[in-house]
Amino acid sequence: MSTTTDTARLHQRVAAADWTHLAEELDTHGCALTPRLLTPAQCARIAGLYEREERFRSTIDMARHRFGSGQYRYFTHDLPEPVAELRAALYPRLLTIARDWAERLGRPAPWPDSLEKWLAMCHEAGQDRSAQILLRYGPGDWNALHRDVFGDMLFPLQVVIGLDAYGTDYTGGEFLLVEQRPRAQSRGTTAVLQQGHGLIFTTRDRPVATKRGWSAGVMRHGVSTVRSGRRHALGLVFHDAA
């Protein structure tokens, strides 16, 4: 169980990140690695929840749906405290970037200052199911390139956090991003998720500078094949699902 001190420390870790640099990384690469946000003990507790079926609203077998191989589970709205607090701490930081992107692309920016108000707007629009994900991969598992849209009410950024130690608990399983650049060949990026660290990336697309101004660069994400061990990851999405 999280304590008040744990919650304060979590908010301090988020606030201590260099958000100017992270925004620049997102502009340049379409993704940005954060400092450590969760301790190894917090990571272990969250990963251990995978066995507690009552904490989840559904389980997805990726092979069955041709999404790849492996499993993930959607949490219920009764989120564990570290997950709920981390999502709340990240939202206002990401909101600044989201509004800047919307302005560059000439799009509306419907997101209020409060995460609670934004989620209420999602629910009023019929998107009322939790979209927070706990993923588990074993040897040979992988995740096909995709986007996590879930409906018309969309927040343009999301975060995935590694819960196991890369190179010790598992090998392979690098995070993949592929960007369809306007009038150019697609560009691929890989990232290693260190335990407790997050990767910020776009839900759908991002602004890309062109000779004619700003264009939307479509991006998809996935996970390369896990070669050994077991890989858990926490997916934080800032809109709910239809």
Rounded to whole angstroms, the Cα distance separating 156 from 138 reads: 29
Q: Distance from first CA to last CA of the chain, Å, rounded?
A: 30
Q: What is the mean pLDDT of residues 201-228?
A: 92
* pLDDT for position 5: 80
pLDDT band at 2 (very low <50, low <70, confident <90, very high): low
pLDDT band at 4 (very low <50, low <70, confident <90, very high): confident
- Calculate what percentage of the chain has a pLDDT beyond 90: 86
Inter-residue contact 81 to 89 (CB < 8 Å): no
Rounded to whole angstroms, the Cα distance separating 62 from 73 reads: 11
Q: Is the pLDDT of residue 6 over 90?
A: no
Looking at per-residue confidence, does 5 or 85 come out higher?
85
pTM for this one? 0.94
Looking at per-residue confidence, does 4 or 220 come out higher?
220
Q: Is the pLDDT of residue 44 over 80?
A: yes
User: Which range has the worst mean pLDDT, 35-49, 102-116, 170-184, 212-226?
Assistant: 170-184
* pLDDT for position 149: 83
Segments in the chain forming alpha helices (H): 4-16, 19-29, 40-48, 81-105, 115-124
C-alpha of 147 from chain center? 11
* pLDDT for position 180: 86
Q: What is the mean pLDDT of residues 43-62?
A: 96
Residue where the block lists tokens 């996590």: 148
Rounded to whole angstroms, the Cα distance separating 99 from 108 reads: 9
User: Which range has the worst mean pLDDT, 141-145, 166-170, 182-186?
Assistant: 182-186
Fold of 1-235: Jelly Rolls (2.60.120)
Domain residue ranges in the chain: 1-235
Measured CA distances, 110 to 95, 96, 203 (Å): 11, 12, 16
pLDDT band at 182 (very low <50, low <70, confident <90, very high): low
